[in-house]
Homo-oligomer: A and B are copies of this chain.
Amino acid sequence: MPTHSFKPTHYHNTIGSHPPVLTIAPGDTVATTCVDASGLDQHLQQATPRGNPMTGPFFIQGAQEGDTLVVRLEKLRPSRTSGWSGVVLASGVVDPDDVPALAQARGEQRRLDWEIDLVANTAQLCSPAGRLEGLKLALDPMLGCFGVAPSRGQAISTATSGPHGGNMDYRGFREGVTAYFPVLAEGGLFFLGDGHALQGDGEITGTGIETSMEVRFSVDLIKGQRIEWPRGEDAEYLFTVGNARPLDQCVQHATSEMLRWLTTEYALDIQSASQLMGQCVRYDLGNIFDPAYTMVCKMPKKLLESLPR
């Protein structure tokens, strides 16, 4: 299968039916780059305006509404030795009465800078870092925002997310993961960007450690498989992704999608699927910062493989 090397010349702040930058076939691999959330590239040059600028879209030959696009994140690696983050916890993730103290602690600062060590695979706050001086955190690079053109000609801001993916800010979208998106427009039209060198659950300071990325991904197509919400798969888990507000509704979307997955592809009846999920399911919090929040419903693959046929 061919590997395309694609160097972006422009970016998008919406995910929509924009003219493709490259047409690829199922099975193809693409090596490309993403600027950071503020539009800074690997040389810290302002390549494009801020706001989760996306590389893409990539047109996948044969992709039609009602298919599923398979995207494997083969490589995901910061492309520079610096990153930045929000200063304090976001005002929506704490009790409202704690907001003034956070605002005071932030003051006029807008960002904190991080040094990324690509050999040791760690990040540390730039000096002076107070109590965190010298603390090295292991990198765990991820894509904050990626997905496909939404239905009906919509162009959706890369600040938010939906059935098409988008700004899910889920740390589980890391190297080695396979993501599944519903094809909602001709060619799928895949976009990617908003790399984080590291991010906790919830993106609770409003950012991860934001940085530019080198990315290699491959695509495939499942013809005629209609899914409602993004899905994913890593070594341990199948997972489904619900993007909405409040978190309760994210859970509903993700749980319903997992129920569909188990009752269709795994041919479980509703009662059996309910018991497996009820006793063994895990949920991750993607983000509780963006206009739409993200919760992820996870089922252990080992468990599903152990089912009597």
A residues contacting B by CB (< 8 A) are 13-14, 16, 51, 85-106, 112, 123, 125, 129-135, 137, 150-157, 198-205, 207-209, 244-249, 251-253, 255-256, 259, 267-272, 274-285, 288, 293, 295, 306-308
Query: Among the interface residues A91, A274, A282, which one has the most CB atoms of the partner chain B within 10 A?
Result: A274
Question: Is the pair B201, A283 in contact by a Cβ cutoff of 8 Å?
Answer: yes
Which residue in B105, B282, B295 is a CB contact (below 8 Å) of A271?
B105
A288 to B272, CA, bound (A): 20
**Which residue of chain B lies nearest to A252 when distances are taken between CB atoms in the complex?**
B95
Question: Is the pair B131, A277 in contact by a Cβ cutoff of 8 Å?
Answer: no
Question: Is the pair A105, B270 in contact by a Cβ cutoff of 8 Å?
Answer: yes
A48 to B155, CA, bound (A): 20
Question: Is the pair B275, A85 in contact by a Cβ cutoff of 8 Å?
Answer: yes
Instruction: Kindly provide the distance from the CB of A164 to the nearest chain B CB, expressed in whole angstroms.
Output: 11
Contact A251 B259, CB 8 Å, known A154-B14, A156-B154, A275-B125? no
Please, which residues of chain B bring their CB within 8 A of the CB of A307? 131-132, 135
Which residue in B13, B89, B245, B256 is a CB contact (below 8 Å) of A277?
B89
Query: Among the interface residues A87, A132, A202, A279, which one has the most CB atoms of the partner chain B within 10 A?
Result: A279
Question: Is the pair B154, A204 in contact by a Cβ cutoff of 8 Å?
Answer: no
Which residue in B125, B202, B248, B283 is a CB contact (below 8 Å) of A246?
B248
Which residue in B94, B154, B308 is a CB contact (below 8 Å) of A134?
B308
Contact A112 B279, CB 8 Å, known A249-B245, A252-B95, A255-B93? no
Which residue in B105, B247, B280 is a CB contact (below 8 Å) of A251?
B247
Question: Is the pair A259, B157 in contact by a Cβ cutoff of 8 Å?
Answer: no
Which residue in B85, B249, B285 is a CB contact (below 8 Å) of A278?
B85
